[in-house]
Amino acid sequence: MEELFDGLLNDHLGFVVWSTVAFVLLLILLGKFAWKPIMAAITERERSIEDALLKAEAAKEEMARLTNENEQLLKEARAERDLILREARQMKDQIVNEAKDAAQEEGARMIEKARLEINSQKAVALAAVKSQVAELSIEIAEKVLRKQFQNKTEQDALVADLLRDVKVN
């Protein structure tokens, strides 16, 4: 057994030593040339991820702030819209009322003008009728008088009747 152990140890001892030397050499080379750049890349990657996370958090906070501002602006815009609509309704009501008042005044003025015109036309028509009645009365009286004055006795009787009426009055 010892022989087997000595054989294994002697045969493989060189392999173990060279393997260990190669491994140590590989560790030194990796440590000098690869380990620092790999660790620097990993550190840089961690830093860029942290920066991205910080930027994302800042963007999230900015978005929340902007959302709050937008909501506030929206509330203000709605309040201003309501105020403008209320003022517009009041202005519309005022304009409608003024238009109604103006229409009523104009209607009353037109009715009064028409009434005055009707009264004026009525007076003119009455004057014309009176004039025509007077002319007709004169014509009738003239015809009656001509007829009555053809006869002398009838003239005397008419004058007597007229004198009696004058005395009675």
pLDDT band at 74 (very low <50, low <70, confident <90, very high): very high
**Is 0.75 surpassed by the pTM of this model?**
no
Q: Where are the domains of the chain?
A: 2-168
- pLDDT digit string, tens, across residues 83-129: 999 999 999 999 999 999 999 999 999 999 999 999 999 999 888 88
In the predicted structure, residue 2 carries a pLDDT above the cut 60 = no
Half-sphere exposure of 71 (CA within 13 A, CB side): 6
pLDDT of residue 168: 46
Q: How many CB atoms lie within 10 A of CB 35?
A: 13
CB 149 within 8 A of CB 155: yes
For residues 165 and 157, the answer to whether their CB atoms sit within 8 Å is no
Mean pLDDT, residues 125-139: 81
* C-alpha–C-alpha distance, residues 63 and 70, integer Å: 10
As a whole number of angstroms, the distance between CA 158 and CA 166 comes to: 12
